[in-house]
Amino acid sequence: MSLLNRSPDASAASPETTHEIHFRRPSRSARAAEDIRSAHGGRRLAVGIAMAACVLVLAHLAHAIGLIGVYPPGAGPAWAWIALAVVAAGTLVATRGLTRVADWTYALVLVALVVPVWLDLASTAGLLHLGVTPTAAPAAAVLLMPVVALRETRTPVAAAALVALAITVAALLQVRSAGSWTVVGLAVAASALVPVVLAAVAVRGFRRLVGRELDLTLVQSTVATPRSAVGMRASEELAELDFDAESLLDDVGSGRLAIPLPADAAAHAGELAARLRVRLIEGRTDTWLRHAVTESAYLSRRVTVDDDQGLAGLLAPEQREGLLLALWLIAGQRRRKATEPPLEVRVRCHDALPALSPGSGDGRARIADGDPGRAGDDAGSGDGVAIDLDVSGVSARRIDATAWDALDNVGVHEIVPSPEGFRIGLECRIDPTVRGQASPSAVNPRGA
């Protein structure tokens, strides 16, 4: 996510919730989209995982207490559990009240966990034939479960895998003397890794879900914008142009630059004027739909917009919301196999016929070859906009039914399957007065 404007709170964002896109999101919205560990239910998830980890640690402790009578005289897991308790207590004291654990503290905790693991493996070495298995070592790995919910998931899983590997090696080295007890030793190794992996899977799914919903919430602000609204990217560019222009005018007004301007200052002024003119001309057709796709970390990877006339800006707010939700559900489909082609959606907006083609008698969509799809009420006659959604890489049957319900609010739609995917043809009725209020043809490039 090198192109995103990242705040200090989001510097440790995991790759599950971030995507590289050609858009520099303002720090406030970037922080809202990335800070899902201590907010948006992330803290409750961490507390739940911590409680599950405590239960598993207590189970391992009860197992260790039950093995006290089996240990040979002078041996036992006491020192390993004492070391584990010291590490756990020190970690709680060092991180109490912190919303984010520093990297050096995190690394120190991982290194400190080596001590109880080593003590436990040393105290149980050669005793597997008696039914003595490590207890503090798998408990040390289980303590990494809350870390999975607070930081990225790869490092805790890798650390737990190393602990499980050490227990596995210790069990396999005793296979001749242990016999069938080797299976028990391998089960203990699995008990060190499986809980951490399950916690990582749950956390990654949670982060993916919350990240998608937050991203959708952020781009939904474009639904209520005017027809030729300026998005966050253009706002930042215009702010930079405004600052450069004010600096140049201030130099002229204060006498630091003489009139006529020097060659370098004149060239800089011409460049600013050209950039501002291009920005203003493009802004007439840079509609809410283009902003929503560009500013979304998910839509920008799969959706392209072809709307040179800015016709998407003619849609009513409820039509915009339905189209945005439908695009979100279609573009959010995940590939079932790595060999499947990537999903792509191309949105093309163009003028419809003077009178919209009526649908079937009950106003439903025209459906080809039994593909699912529904349309809203018959648009009837009047001025309209036609929108084509060319979808490749997925079939219409795999699209969530909510997408078709969302398209009901946009207009009459027709689904046509194709070898690569399918096409959705939308005929949207609009208010004729809206087109006359802000027509792109009224833009005079020379006067911009």
> Which stretches of 220-257 are DSSP H helices?
232-253
Q: Dihedrals φ, ψ of 198, to 5°?
A: -65, -40
Residue 52 contacts by C-beta under 8 Å, 6 or more apart in sequence?
145, 195, 199
pTM of the model: 0.64
> Does residue 255 or residue 329 have the better pLDDT?
329
- Chain mean position to CA 193: 26
- The pLDDT value given to residue 56: 94
User: Is 166 exposed, middle or buried (CB count within 10 Å of its CB: 0-12, 13-18, 19+)?
Assistant: buried
319: its two tokens: 């039509």
Distance CA 404, CA 416 (A): 14
pLDDT digits (tens, 9 = 90+) for 248-265: 777 777 777 777 777 787
- The pLDDT value given to residue 374: 42
- The pLDDT value given to residue 82: 93
Q: Do residues 349 and 312 lie in contact, with contact meaning Cβ atoms separated by under 8 Å?
A: yes
- Per-residue HEC secondary structure of 270-336 comes to HHHHHHHHHHHHHHCCCCHHHHHHHHCCCHHHHEEEECCCCHHHHCCHHHHHHHHHHHHHHHCCCCC
- pLDDT above 70 covers a percentage of the chain that reads 71
Q: Is the pLDDT of residue 69 over 50?
A: yes
Name the least confident of 17-31, 95-109, 309-323. Answer: 17-31
What element of type H or E holds 412? strand 412-417
User: What rounded mean pLDDT belongs to the chain?
Assistant: 75
pLDDT digits (tens, 9 = 90+) for 186-232: 999 999 999 999 999 998 888 888 888 877 877 777 777 666 555 44
The reply to whether omega before 260 is within 30° of 0 (cis) is yes
What element of type H or E holds 82? helix 78-95
Distance CA 221, CA 210 (A): 18
Name the least confident of 69-83, 172-186, 262-276, 427-441. Answer: 427-441
